[in-house]
A and B are shown apart, each in its own frame.
Chain A
C-alpha cells in the first residue's frame, strides 16, 4: 500500500475499532438513530472542518472560523428579525460576506507576508467583535421557512432521522474531496503545502491560490454558520467559541499533516465522526464525566501526531541511501 495512505488507513481503523468496542458494550449504538444523530450533531463541525482541511493542506491555519460561525448565526437572526428578506436571500448575502472576509484575510497574508496565525487571529477578533456589535443577546429565529428546514429529514429504517443538515454535511465533504484531489486548485494547494518556493517554481500562482484558500474556508464557515443556525434556531454571539481548535483537532485526527502538503478530506470526516463517537459513548455510559471527552480527544491527537511523526521518519529513512 502507498505509505501516503497509512494515516488515513489508521484513522479509519481506529474509528471502526472504537465503534466495535462501543457496540459490544451498548448494542444500541449500531442503530440508525445514533448514526443519524451523529451526523446531525456534528454537521456544522464537519462542514467547517472541510474548509480547515484545505487551509491546513496548504500549510496555513485559519483561527477565525469559530467567530465567523457565531457572526453568521447572529447576522441571519438579526436580518430575519429586522428586515423582510427571505432566508434564502439572507443566506446568499451571508455567504458573500464570509467569502469576502476570508478572501480579505488571504490577501493580507499574501500581501504582508505575515504568518496566517496572526492574520486570522485578527480576523477572529474582528468577526467576534462584529457579532457583538450586532447584538449581545441570543436572538431566536422564528420563521416558517426555518421550521420547514428543521423538519426536513428522511426516516431511515430503524426510525433514525437523516436530517437535511446531515446530508448537507456529507455533500460538502464530497465536494471538498473533489476540490482537493481532483482540481487544478487542489493541486496548487497541495503544492503550496509542500513548499512555497517550489510551488512558485512549478508555476503555481501563489497569491491567487492563497486568496482562494482562505475565501473557501470563509465560505465553509458561512455555510457552517447557516447549518448551526438551523440546528439551534437562534443566533448568539458567544456561540461556537473554540470551534476552530476542535476543527483543527478533527483534521489532525483525520490524518492530515499539520505542516501541509499531505492529507485527505475524507479523513477529516472520519476525524469529526470519531470525536462525535467519543461524546456519544460518554453520554451512553452515563457515569463518565463530560471532561473525559477533552482528555480522550487530547490523547487521540497525541497518538495521531506521534504516528505521523513515526511514518515521516520511516519514509525519509527509506529515501536516504
Chain B
C-alpha cells in the first residue's frame, strides 16, 4: 500500500499544485455544495467531465503496458455511442442498448487484438486502420445524422446521480478500482508486465502472450464502449463526427503523465487515472480562472514537454552521473581533509 502511494506521489503533487494555482484565480475551487440532493461544485464537474478520458486511460494503460498503443479508442467511442443511440431508437430498451454497445466495444477490441497478436502488425498501424475507418462505420450506423433520443434510462448514465455523485464519476471510479484490484490481486498484472518487457521471454516462461494481448485490447475496447455510452448519454444523441474526437491522444497523454513508460512494462492504473484528472483539471481550471480556452492547447503542450524532460532516460542518466561525481568529489575532499590529522 505504501509503495502504491509512493508511486503516485508526483501525480498527487502535480494535482495539488494545479488546484492551488487555480484557487489563486478562483478561490472556491474546492467548495462542494448539496443542491437538490446532488453534490455540485468544480470538483464534481472535473470528476464528471473527466470520465471519458479517465475510462479510456484505464484501458490504454493496459495496452501500453504490453508495449502497444490503441489509437482507435476515440472512434470506438463514436461507434459504441452510435450503436447505443440506434438501439434505443429501435426500441431494444436500455438493457439491449447497453449490451449491444458493449458488444461493439468487444468486437472492436477483438479486431485490434487479432491484428496485433495474431497477424503481428505493429500496434500503431493496426489500430490506425480502425481509427481512420471507424468514424465511417459510426456514420453508417447513424446514417450521417446526429441520432438523438429521449430515454431517461440511458440519459441517466450521462447526467444522473448516484447518492449525489454524478454517474459518470461513479462509473469511472468503479472501473478504475475494479481493474486495479484485478491487476494487483491476481497474477494478471504481472503477466501483462512480463509480456510488455519481453514478449518472447514471457512466452518461454509460460505466459500465453497471444491471449493476453488480445485481452488487453478487448479491455480497451470495453472501456471505450463505457466512455462512448457516457458521452452519448450526456448529450442525449450520437454524434458520429465529434464523439471522442482526439480523446485517444488525451488518453495516451494521461498514461504518460501517470509516469507509465510507452515502452511497456511496469504500469499503474491509479497513476494513469490521476493523469486523466490532471488533464481535466487543467481544462476546467483554465475556464474557471477566466483565461480564454485558446490557451488550453499551449498549456497542454508545455505540460507534455515538462513531463518529457522529467521522464527522459538520457537526462536521468546524466543526473545520476552528475550526482555520482559530486559524491565522489565530496568523498575525496573528506579523505584529503582527514589525512593531515592522522
Contacts and interface: CB of A to CB of B under 8 A. Distances in A.
B314 A289 contact: no
Contacts of A299: 133
A1 B292 CA distance: 59
B199 to A, nearest CB: 16
A291 B140 contact: yes
A3 interface: no
B294 A129 contact: yes
A126 B133 contact: no
B301 interface: yes
Q: Which of B135, B136, B144, B262 lies at the interface centre, i.e. has the most chain A CB atoms within 10 A of its CB?
A: B136
B315 interface: yes
A122 B132 contact: no
B233 to A, nearest CB: 23
B139 interface: yes
A126 B315 contact: no
A80 interface: no
Interface in A227-246: 245-246
A123 interface: yes
A121 B262 contact: no
A126 B314 contact: no
B108 to A, nearest CB: 13
A61 B120 CA distance: 20
B130 A298 contact: yes
Given A121-B304, A129-B295, A295 B140 contact: yes
A294 B304 CA distance: 31
A122 B297 contact: no
Interface in B140-171: 140, 143-144
Interface string B122-135: 10111011111111
Contacts of A85: none
A111 B296 CA distance: 26
A67 B249 CA distance: 14
Interface stretch (A13-21, A47-55, A112-120, A218-226): A112-120
Interface in A290-319: 290-295, 297-299, 301-302, 305-306, 309
Contacts of A130: 298
A305 to B, nearest CB: 6
A111 B129 CA distance: 31
A297 B132 contact: yes
A252 B143 CA distance: 29
Interface residues of B, number: 46
Contacts of A121: 249, 252-253, 304
A298 B71 CA distance: 14
Contacts of B139: 289, 291, 294
B136 A125 contact: no
A301 B132 contact: yes
Contacts of B262: 115, 117-118
B308 A108 contact: yes
Contacts of A128: 297
Contacts of B121: 305-306, 309
Given A122-B305, A132-B294, A309-B121, A295 B133 contact: yes
A186 B136 CA distance: 37
Contacts of B132: 245-246, 249, 294, 297-298, 301
Interface string A243-258: 0011011001000001
B1 interface: no
Given A114-B312, A119-B308, A129-B295, A291 B301 contact: no
A111 B313 CA distance: 10
Nearest to B245: A241
A133 B312 CA distance: 29
Interface in B211-268: 240, 249, 252-253, 256, 262-263
Contact of B298 (A112, A126, A249): A126
A129 B283 CA distance: 13
A138 interface: no
Contacts of B89: none
A34 to B, nearest CB: 24
A25 interface: no
B114 to A, nearest CB: 12
Contact of A117 (B124, B131, B301): B124
Given A118-B262, A258-B124, A292-B136, A302 B298 contact: no
Given A246-B132, A301-B133, 19 more contacts: A108-B308, A113-B313, A117-B262, A118-B308, A121-B253, A122-B305, A125-B300, A129-B299, A129-B301, A132-B294, A258-B124, A258-B125, A259-B122, A289-B139, A289-B144, A291-B135, A291-B136, A297-B133, A301-B128
25 contacts: A111-B312, A111-B314, A113-B312, A117-B262, A118-B252, A118-B304, A121-B252, A122-B308, A124-B249, A125-B300, A129-B301, A130-B298, A136-B294, A258-B125, A289-B139, A291-B240, A294-B135, A298-B130, A298-B132, A298-B136, A299-B133, A301-B128, A301-B133, A306-B119, A309-B120
